[in-house]
Amino acid sequence: MTSPLSTLVNHQVRLASRPVGLPTAENWHFGTEAVAEPGDGGVLVKTLALSLDPAMRGWMNEGKSYIPPVGLGEVMRAGGVGVVLASRRPGFAVGDFVGGGLGVQEYFSAAGDEVGRSGLAKIDLRLGTLTQWLNVLGMPGMTAYFGLLDVGQPQPGQTVVVSGAAGAVGQTVGQLAKIKGCRVVGIAGGPAKCEWVVRELGFDACIDYKAPAPAGAAHWDPVKDGLRAHCPKGVDVYFDNVGGDILDAVLARLARGARIVICGAISQYNATTAVQGPKNYLSLLVHRARMQGMVVFDYAERYPQAVAELAGYLKDGRMKSREDVVEGGVAAFPEALNRLFSGGNFGKLVLQVARV
């Protein structure tokens, strides 16, 4: 941070073309540009770490969604944390730690209106580490908090099921549901994740959707069988991060009046044919249940309340977090992102871009 700004080079990852199926190297363009002085009312931020999220796949597609797509040639959209190197904006001083929409680049330099759009805000490292600010105290945590509590509305004693249980959103959903007095069953891929979710996070059970069939098994459906075993009274709240067959399996096990929170559908994001619709959706009728979508940005005004509550749980030890930190800077972004779609990450996936 002692270099003069004019000597800094900003390595960036831009969207070169729109993927069909899983993103490949040719969808990305690596570029460099000089670091610009911040514009009027702006700041210059050095990126320290970036959040890699399943939602990024959707932002790469053309067409209307809850947020405009990333334009071809633009720096890929990403949330991140960093440190202020220069400021022409009241409330931001050199050396402040900040979080917001920094993009997949080493430096975020912006004028005032762009800073506003990026949602840049100071972060307090007494409440959580830098990577926790991308996890429990960041978008995944906010998504978990408002999705579970506002949309899912779990009551003490009810059964909450969450898919992607060891992932960023899932880990907070499950622990928060336990804190609120629910029985919690996770769904995750592989014994390591399932064991961590139960032993470390305190879930009541975790179903390994990748579990291999025992030798000689005539019938094998680990999710269906696991739900039957672990949710004898049915599922009151299902927090869905994955869609596909797992959503259908849970639909078949709903309790009366169940709430399904549609947060994402990672199993479908790289589909090259039509999305797999939930063929068991008429279970909503049989069980007087509802399925409801949510977008975390709608709750922005209430983030401080959620951050305060979640930081309290981190402090008193009732909530743990796990981040899977990939080294290698922005050059490692394309490969790191794709780990989300194979389930290769264990915990919130973070790309380390620089050290403080």
Q: Which is nearer to a second copy, 123 or 340 (CB)?
A: 340
CB of residue 71 to a second copy, shortest distance in Å: 19
The CB-of-274 to a second copy minimum distance in angstroms stands at 5
Q: According to the 3-state scheme, what is the secondary structure of 44-98?
A: EEEEEEEECCCHHHHHCCCCCCCCCCCCCCCECCCCEEEEEEEECCCCCCCCCEE
Residues 166-180, buried b or exposed e (16+ Cβ, 10 A)?
A: bbbbbbbbbbbbbeb
Q: How far is the CB of 263 from a second copy (least distance, A)?
A: 7
CB of 222 to a second copy, least distance (A): 21
Which residue, 313 or 341, has its beta carbon nearer to a second copy? 341
Minimum gap (Å) between residue 164 Cβ and a second copy: 15
What is the smallest separation between the CB atom of 121 and a second copy, expressed in angstroms? Answer: 23
Query: Which residues contact a second copy by CB under 8 A?
Result: 64-66, 243, 248, 262-265, 268, 274-295, 298
Q: How far apart are CA 64 and CA 56, in angstroms?
A: 14
C-alpha pair distances (Å), 43 with each of 6, 130, 297: 15, 19, 23
Quick check: 324 and 193 in contact, CB under 8 A? Answer: no
Least gap, CB of 282 to a second copy (angstroms): 6
Cross-strand bridge partners of residue 207: 187
Task: Kindly state the smallest distance separating residue 264's Cβ from a second copy, in Å.
Answer: 7
Amino acid at site 98 = V
Q: How many CB atoms lie within 10 A of CB 150?
A: 14
Closer residue to a second copy, CB minimum distance, 96 or 150: 150
CB of 84 or CB of 237, closer to a second copy: 237
Closer to a second copy at the Cβ: 204 or 248? 248
To a second copy, the closest distance from the beta carbon of 122 in angstroms equals 29
CB of 21 to a second copy, least distance (A): 17
